[in-house]
Amino acid sequence: GDSVTQMEGPVTLSEEAFLTINCTYTATGYPSLFWYVQYPGEGLQLLLKATKADDKGSNKGFEATYRKETTSFHLEKGSVQVSDSAVYFCALSVETSGSRLTFGEGTQLTVNP
């Protein structure tokens, strides 16, 4: 079946530090890949996505590149802010499986001033 594995958290960084959250996947078909973010007390929001190999998704300074050869979709940001503190979820969907989302377990990020 489909699965997503994220690096274990929580992650604590100082403001302006570089962020990497690792994500790898297994899928029965050709997946689209996503990063969702959940801010404290709020619902899940789509952060970025990539639908085919070598695509780069980007939004709000975050980036992730779809690497088919390593089945990975690592999230990066060059300089984090306190406002980036949230839980980040990597996810995939396969169109032939009704496009249902399969999520990783989430990574809690805390950014200190």
Partner 1 sequence: DTGVSQDPRHKITKRGQNVTFRCDPISEHNRLYWYRQTLGQGPEFLTYFQNEAQLEKSRLLSDRFSAERPKGSFSTLEIQRTEQGDSAMYLCASSFRNSYNEQFFGPGTRLTVL
Give the residue, chosen from 43, 69, 96, 113, that forms a contact with partner 1 under the rule CB under 8 A: 43
CB 108 → partner 1: shortest distance, Å? Answer: 9
Q: Is 101 in the site for partner 1 (CB under 8 A)?
A: yes
Q: Which of residues 53-92 bind partner 1 (CB under 8 A)?
A: 89, 91
Q: What is the DSSP string of the chain?
A: --EEEE--S-EEEETT--EEE-EEEE-SS--EEEEEEE-TTS-EEEEEEE-STT-EEEETTEEEE-BTTTTB--EEESS--GGG-EEEEEEEE-GGGTT-EEE---EEEEEE-
Q: Is 39 in the site for partner 1 (CB under 8 A)?
A: no
Q: Which residues bind partner 1 (CB under 8 A)?
A: 4, 32, 34, 36, 42-46, 49, 51, 89, 91, 93, 95, 98-106
